[in-house]
């Protein structure tokens, strides 16, 4: 689950982009969603359990895929599942202990679904554009830093 820290830099566009990035990483590399992230308005980062850094070609492909998804103007919606049902579809180990018996799922069209308590855009086009700033790899952790450049 994505943890949302309430701070003045919180940004629904960036947080929604993080969901799309996670699903793209899962689809491209099959190594799971980020285990840690820091989402802010100017720039954000996600950490993945990985075995190497990304190549320039992979970064270019990720940027292209994310921007294609964003431009599809997919609806971002919420649904609620009982915990005993949600556990069949989602990894719930990152949920806070007080998450309760009803789990909120954020869906981005048919592209992504994830338990989350954060605020999101209502459609992907509101995100604008996505760009990976840099990546690094150390001790089994791939860090992907990104921003949402304005035209």
User: What pLDDT was estimated at residue 2?
Assistant: 45
Which residue from 40, 25, 8, 54 is spatially nearest to 114, judged by alpha carbons?
Answer: 25
pLDDT digits (tens, 9 = 90+) for 110-140: 999 999 988 999 999 999 999 999 999 999 9
Contact 10, 23 (CB under 8 A): no
Tell me how many degrees the CA angle 129-15-12 measures, rounded to the nearest 5.
85
pLDDT in tens, 26-72: 999 999 999 999 999 999 999 999 999 999 999 999 999 999 999 99
Instruction: Extract the runs of DSSP E, i.e. beta strands, from 1-150.
Output: 36-38, 44-49, 76-82, 102-108, 112-115, 131-138, 141-147
């Amino acid at each position: 689950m994505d943890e949302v820290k309430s701070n003045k830099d919180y940004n629904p566009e960036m947080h929604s982009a993080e969901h799309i990035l996670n699903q793209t990483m899962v689809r491209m590399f099959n190594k799971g969603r980020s285990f840690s992230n820091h989402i802010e308005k100017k720039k954000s980062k996600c950490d993945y359990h990985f075995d190497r850094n990304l190549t320039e070609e992979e970064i270019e492909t990720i940027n292209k895929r994310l921007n294609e998804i964003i431009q599809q103007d997919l609806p971002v919606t919420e649904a609620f599942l009982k915990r005993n049902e949600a556990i069949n579809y989602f990894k719930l180990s990152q949920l806070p202990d007080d998450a309760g018996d009803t789990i909120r799922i954020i869906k981005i069209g048919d592209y992504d679904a994830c338990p989350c308590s954060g605020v999101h855009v209502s459609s992907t086009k509101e995100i604008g554009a996505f760009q990976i700033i840099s990546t690094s790899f150390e001790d089994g952790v791939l860090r992907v830093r990104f921003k949402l450049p304005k035209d």
